[in-house]
Amino acid sequence: AKRAGRNGYQAFNPEMQRAMSMRVRLSQALRDAVQAGQLRLHYQPIVELASGRVRKAEALLRWEHPEFGEVSPAAFIPIAEDCGSIHCIGDWVFERAACQAARWRSRFGTDFQVSINVSPRQFQAGGRDFGRWLERLGELGLDGSMLALEITETLLMDTDQAIADKLAQFRAAGVQIALDDFGTGYSSLAYLKEFRIDYLKIDRTFVRDMTPDSKSFLLSEAIVTMAHRLGLKVIAEGVETPQQYALLERIGCDYFQGYLFSRPLPEDAFEGLLRSASCE
């Protein structure tokens, strides 16, 4: 039972206070995480359904803190966004993923692509980060098409023209755009009309609830049909069972990722997987 304080709100709540002080400690630790080399990228294979081949990978951040242990990105990304560390972390992710993608391209095929997650905050800093990223690609002599940016609908809700311009610049440099967690949040099909998007990622919650007569299945089928009519490809995330896979195949989904094929892997393990797959 919650006891209200004199002013109508809870005067003291030890649990809340613990959570808040943990947040403060995490945000301080995050400031040093890049410098201290505590961040890693793991890569989850993205498989083309038609060929069964690994064509892409999603880069996912991992933070191993000496005291707190492994901290989930779901926990620390929101904190990094609030305290501003997201810019420094995002730059690191970009640099690391771009160099890795270039290496894997030269070894495993010229259409191999790595996608990175970017949060709306990174766009809203006047686009500073992204201007540098495009320059950096040029300096490194890298082809933009080796990268995709995973953005969310929240970003497109912002009517700021600068965001549309930034996305257009990336696409002009060959970088592709994926709309992450599609179907959650305030989906509006108007985004698809206004912005040039390359991939829709069907959210894990749809895949999780997918059975032949479920709404999730019907909605996924409708998403694939619509996407294809608009010239977009569809990636399903969080595929864990052969049943889910079979249903996605039935509706003509283009790519999938999930524990059924592989969890996100450290760089060397991912490379081992690519090597064994390319020798098949």
Chain positions contacting ligand C2E, by CB under 6 A = 44, 60-61, 72-74, 77, 93, 116-119, 150, 180-181, 204, 237-240, 257-259, 264
Residue number with the smallest Cβ distance to ligand C2E: 258
Q: Which does 156 bind (CB under 5 to 8 A by kind): Ca ion, ligand C2E, none?
A: none
Binders of Ca ion in range 103-142 (CB under 5 A)? 117
Q: CA geometry: angle at 260 spanning 266 and 152, to 5°?
A: 70
Minimum CB separation of residue 56 from ligand C2E in Å reads 13
Q: Name residues contacting Ca ion, limited to 135-194 (CB under 5 A).
A: 150, 180-181
Comparing CB distances to ligand C2E, the nearer of 183 and 264 is: 264
* In contact, 100 and 267? CB cutoff 8 Å: yes
List, in order, residues 6 or more apart from 278 with CB less than 8 Å away: 108, 109
| Residue nearer to ligand C2E on the CB measure, 13 or 65 | 65
Minimum CB separation from ligand C2E for residue 272, in Å? Answer: 19
Integer Cα distance of 258 and 256 in angstroms: 7
* Residue among 82 and 106 whose Cβ is closer to ligand C2E: 82
Q: Report yes or no: 47 and 257 within 8 Å, Cβ to Cβ.
A: yes
Rounded least distance, CB 60 to Ca ion, Å: 8
Q: Looking at beta carbons only, is 60 or 210 nearer to ligand C2E?
A: 60
**Rounded to whole angstroms, how far apart are CA atoms 126 and 140?**
24
- Strand 54-65 with 39-48, pairing: antiparallel
The greatest distance separating any two alpha carbons of the chain, rounded to the nearest whole angstrom, comes to: 71
Tokens coding 21? 């002080």
Whole-number minimum distance, CB 170 to Ca ion, in Å? 16
Comparing CB distances to Ca ion, the nearer of 29 and 112 is 112
Q: What distance in Å separates the CA atoms of residue 83 and residue 34, rounded to the nearest whole number?
A: 14
Residue 262 beta carbon to ligand C2E: minimum distance, rounded to whole angstroms:
9
Q: Which does 61 bind (CB under 5 to 8 A by kind): Ca ion, ligand C2E, none?
A: ligand C2E
Q: Which is nearer to Ca ion, 29 or 150 (CB)?
A: 150
Residue 260 C-alpha from the chain's centroid: 19
Of the candidates 39, 56, 154, the residue with the CA atom closest to the CA atom of residue 91: 39
Which residues here bind Ca ion, judged by CB under 5 A?
117, 150, 180-181
